[in-house]
Amino acid sequence: MRIEVDYRPTPKQAAFHQSRANEALFGGAAGGGKSKALVMDALARVLMHPGTHAYLFRRTYRELEDTLVAEARASIPRRIGLYNASRHEMQVVGGGVLHFRHCRGTADMYDYAGTEMHWLYFDELTSFEQPVYEYLKTRLRAKASLGIVPVVRCASNPGGIGHAWVRARFVDAGTPMKPVRQRIFSRALGREREVSTQYIPALATENPHVGQAYIFELESKPEALRRALLEGDWNAFEGQVFTEFRDDPTRYGERRWTHVIKPFAIPGHWMRYVSFDHGYSKPFSVGWWAVSPSGTAFRYREWYGWNGTPNRGMELSPKEIARGILAREEEERREGIRFDRIADPSIFERSRGESIAQQMGAEGVQFRKGDNARLAGKMQLHGRLRFDPEGRPGLYVFDCCRQFIRTVPALAYDAARVEDVDTDAEDHVYDETRYFLMSKPYGQQGGME
């Protein structure tokens, strides 16, 4: 039986439907037709594979009703799919089902413990925490008799609680439009398998169904919101703290109007600093800085103590961290370079015996107490990120410092302390950067920059 639906996908929507990746994100700007692409992709899969079940998630049922459910009821003829409002499901000819579901957070995700999902969809993926995404992915399975390979398909604008992990997983993982492949090994099965992700960027200007009035409306928004929703810029989003931050690869060479640059050989006479924020179950962060004679700061190396999952630590002891710091400085120390080290003042606390600072000092890594004034430190970073009239900031980051680039631009404001950074965010790199900047680093006089 031939089934036809009045749907003419844009080139980007078509690329999303044709993706062969295990996980794909259709994301970026508003107005790119993302919700429609999710619904039509789910419909196509349950029609092509009768009897299969697609699960489409938003964070709340109200969001579901306003977006995915409304899109499905408007776009799918009743002769093809009938929506049951009490069950939040659409029965499709051939026996397939579209399940419209919500998951507010980790407390709700276990409601789906016994569910078998064949096709898994997330709308506004950045509104979900990563543990929710990872857990619901474990519900993705199918009997061999169905002859299908279950997939995950997502859509999202920049911003939200999941901004950092979504960006790391899809946007920064590779080149837009091109699948990123990696091989994973199963100890239980004793063999490897290839898995892939793909990021397909969307812009409102690429969608012929979006009116010009909507484009004008997006252009009128404040800078961060405009960059996120109109340009699909993952370095900007509503509520972003450091809207000044720019990562423009086209300007790495000239070092103007970008904070991220290519590494270069640092002159031996420049002052060197190390900043440290301790963590165990949460990541620790170590940053190495050089300061030019004119006072410009360069973050040239970092060591981030995570286990590969955002905001999860490596659980290293203070002595292990100290030895790791020394190993990374070995070549510089052989050249006679000395470091001024500044750390989180809490590591000097001795209420429970030997302090963290003492344990690290026993390995040869000495720190002085950093200034933990939060708002003053935040203003220091704002000031350093500001460009002068020639486009030169007071702080640069080498492009090898991926954790600064990943986490600092993703920081949002605290809902209660509206001038401060949300301390529940992945703020460890930011914190040690504050300690460094509050130490009033200076460049040794003389020499050429």
Reference 174, options 152, 198, 154, 153; nearest CA is 198
Tell me how far apart the alpha carbons of residues 135 and 430 are, in angstroms, rounded to a whole number.
29
Residue 341 · residue 361 · CB < 8 Å: no
Whether 71 and 39 have beta carbons less than 8 Å apart is answered as yes
- Look at residue 446 and tell me whether its pLDDT is greater than 60: no
The answer to whether the CB of 268 falls within 8 A of the CB of 337 is: yes
List the domain boundaries for the chain. Answer: 11-219, 241-438
Q: Under CATH, which architecture does the 241-438 domain have? A: 2-Layer Sandwich (3.30)
Please compute the mean of the pLDDT values over residues 268-288 and round it to a whole number: 97
Q: What's the mean pLDDT in 246-257?
A: 94
Provide the pLDDT for residue 444: 52
Which band of pLDDT confidence, cut at 50, 70 and 90, is reported for residue 1? Answer: low
pLDDT the model gives residue 216: 82
Name the amino acid, one letter, at 10: T
Instruction: Report whether pLDDT(445) > 70.
Output: no
Integer angstrom CA distances of residue 186 from 139, 189, 195, 285, 344: 18, 5, 12, 31, 40
What is the average pLDDT score of the chain? 91
DSSP 246-285: ---GGGTTTT-S-SEE---PPPTTSEEEEEEE--SSSPPE
Tokens of 162: 């999941």
At residue 443 the predicted structure's pLDDT band, cuts being 50, 70 and 90, is low
CB neighbour class for 400 (10 Å; exposed up to 12, middle 13-18, buried from 19): middle
Per-residue pLDDT of 328-354, as tens digits, reads: 999 999 999 999 999 999 999 987 789
Residue pLDDT, tens place only, 89-103: 999 999 999 999 999
- 210 versus 101: the higher-pLDDT residue is 101
* φ/ψ of residue 126, rounded to 5: -70, -5
- Residue-wise pLDDT tens digits, 412-442: 888 778 788 888 889 999 999 999 999 987 6
Class level of CATH domain 11-219: alpha beta
Q: What is the distance between the alpha carbons of residues 449 and 443, in angstroms, rounded to a whole number?
A: 10
Report the pLDDT averaged over residues 290-298: 96
Please give the Cα distance from 177 to 15 (Å, whole number): 8
Q: DSSP assignment of 113-179, as one string?
A: TT--BSEEEEESGGGS-HHHHHHHHTTB---GGG----EEEEEE-S-STTHHHHIIIIITTS-TTS-
Identify each DSSP E strand in 282-416 by its residue range: 285-291, 297-304, 339-343, 368-369, 395-398
- How confident is the model at residue 160, as a pLDDT? 80
Supply the pLDDT for residue 449: 38
Distance (Å, whole) CA 391 – CA 442: 21
Residue 221 burial (10 A CB sphere; 0-12, 13-18, 19+): middle
* Backbone dihedral angles phi then psi of residue 304, each to the nearest 5 degrees: -110, 120
The pTM assigned to this predicted structure is 0.70
